[in-house]
Amino acid sequence: MSKPSYVLLGERLAMGVGQLFTTLSKSPPYRWSSGVLRRFGVTGRTTVIAIPWIWLLLFFLIPFVIVLKISFAETRWLGTPPYTPLIEHVNNQYQLRLNTGNYWFLLKESLYFEAFLSSLRVASISTIFCLLLGYPMAYAIARADTSWRNILLMLVILPFWTSFLLRVYAWIGLLGNNGVINRMLISIGIIDEPIIMLQTDFAMYIGIVYSYLPFMILPLYANLEKHDLSLIEAAVDLGCKPWKAFLKITLPLSMPGVIAGSMLVFIPAVGEFVIPRMLGGTDSLMIGRVLWDEFFSNRNWPVASAVAVALLIVLVIPIMVFQRFQAREVGAAR
């Protein structure tokens, strides 16, 4: 029985490492040191937990603490880093200076509030469109013949593997005044003047729905594929109309998939920067874009940090909902 070569190679390597480990673990220095380490609570198990734990602590949790800290600092226009320290050493004592001005600034300037509202609106509408387009697709794939299912699924995943940036860029060529769609419509004779689509909210919605559609389809498919079809058969046998059986059985059963997919689209879409920048108009107010400009154009790091903290507060509930469903989905597979 032949296995693919990479699996063979992997097994060889794994066995080699395992052998090496066994030899090492019998050597006196190892046994002595592992005995000492064990006394301090360091075992193989804790080490395996500790490596990802420490990485995430260092590069995921602590950075947020720093963002929080800098959001309370004052902007220092000249000098690096361009913010003031929170703790100052004056007259032999340490002083903590919390500056809440950045947050007051966010509340006072209507620009930020409107950007938040408009981001939430854009993300919600995009999520609904993803759901309307993605649900029938996921359903059709889940109910397709087994031979077709994997091919269709691969076709959903394939765009995801190709550059997101380039796929968004492709829409510039399609939607422009001189673009493919306008030229086609003019040559057919439906319109005389090109429709202005690029740099409008319409183009932005197209871009977001297009980019995030696979994120909606995949969790929905994973859910719909597991359904027990005999439930529907029983309902239909007992005289239930197919659409009613769908509404009463399939739809409620697929709610975890709907929520997981919606969160996977909604949460990143709220903070989206690339798509509004490339396809949306110059006046499109998205909070991701505001944060970017605040940081890169205005070089106002404390205000950018305050925007990030506010965005995180807005998203904390959706993120927690997502995590609950994510844990349940992966756990349910056991």
Partner 1 sequence: MNKRSTTLMTALVFGFAFLYVPILSMIVFSFNESRLVTVWGGFSFKWYGQLMNNGPMLDAAVLSLKIAAVTACGATVIGTLAGLVLARFGRFRSRTIFSGMVTAPLVMPEVITGLSLLLLFVAFADLPFVPNERGFSTIAIAHITLTLSYVTVVVQSRLSTMDDSLEEAAMDLGARPAKVFFAITLPIIAPAMISGWLLAFTLSLDDLVIATFTAGPATNTLPMMIFSTVRRGITPEINALATIMVAIVTLFVAIAGISMSRQEKRRQRDVQMAIAANK
Q: Which of residues 32-71 bind partner 1 (CB under 8 A)?
A: 44-45, 48-49, 51-53, 55-57, 59-64, 66-67, 70
Least Å from the CB of residue 30 to partner 1: 12
Comparing CA positions, the residue from 299, 276, 141 lying closest to residue 214 is 141
Strands (DSSP E) found in the chain: 87-90, 93-96
**Of 93 and 333, which has the nearer Cβ to partner 1?**
333
CB 263 within 8 A of CB 321: yes
Distance (Å, whole) CA 277 – CA 198:
11
CB 195 within 8 A of CB 228: no
Give the footprint of partner 1 on residues 153-192 (CB under 8 A): 154-159, 161-167, 169-174, 176, 178-180, 183
Position 117: which residue type? L
Q: Which region, judged by CB under 8 A, interacts with partner 1, from 10-18, 99-107, 225-233, 251-259?
A: 10-18
The correct pick among 107, 117, 140, 191 for binding partner 1 (CB under 8 A) is 140
The 8-class DSSP code of residue 271 comes to T
**Of 213 and 258, which has the nearer Cβ to partner 1?**
213
Least Å from the CB of residue 97 to partner 1: 17
Least Å from the CB of residue 171 to partner 1: 6
**Of 36 and 327, which has the nearer Cβ to partner 1?**
327
Determine if 7 is a binding residue for partner 1 (CB under 8 A): yes
From residue 108 to residue 137, what is the string marking binding to partner 1 with x (rule CB under 8 A)? -------------------------xx-xx
Query: Residues touching partner 1: how many (CB under 8 A)?
Result: 104
**Of 101 and 268, which has the nearer Cβ to partner 1?**
268
The correct pick among 106, 131, 141, 285 for binding partner 1 (CB under 8 A) is 141
Least Å from the CB of residue 252 to partner 1: 19
Distance (Å, whole) CA 207 – CA 201:
10
**Of 249 and 263, which has the nearer Cβ to partner 1?**
263
Three-state secondary structure call for residue 248: helix
Give the footprint of partner 1 on residues 280-309 (CB under 8 A): 288, 291-292, 295-296, 301, 304-305, 308
Distance (Å, whole) CA 27 – CA 78:
59
**Of 7 and 117, which has the nearer Cβ to partner 1?**
7
Report the C-alpha dihedral over residues 277, 281, 283, 286, rounded to 10 degrees: -40
Roughly what angle, to the nearest 10 degrees, separates helices 101-108 and 110-142?
80
The residues, any chain, with a CB within 8 Å of residue 42's CB and separated by 6 or more, are none
Determine if 238 is a binding residue for partner 1 (CB under 8 A): no
Read off the tokens for 271.
């903070």
Q: Is the dihedral of CA 315, 321, 324, 330 positive or negative?
A: negative
**Of 242 and 255, which has the nearer Cβ to partner 1?**
242
The correct pick among 111, 234, 242, 255 for binding partner 1 (CB under 8 A) is 242
Sole residue written with tokens 């605040």: 294
CB 41 within 8 A of CB 54: no
Backbone angles phi, psi at 215, to 5 degrees: -65, -25
Comparing CA positions, the residue from 195, 51, 216 lying closest to residue 136 is 216
**Of 92 and 237, which has the nearer Cβ to partner 1?**
237
Give the footprint of partner 1 on residues 77-96 (CB under 8 A): 81
The correct pick among 210, 221, 245, 257 for binding partner 1 (CB under 8 A) is 210
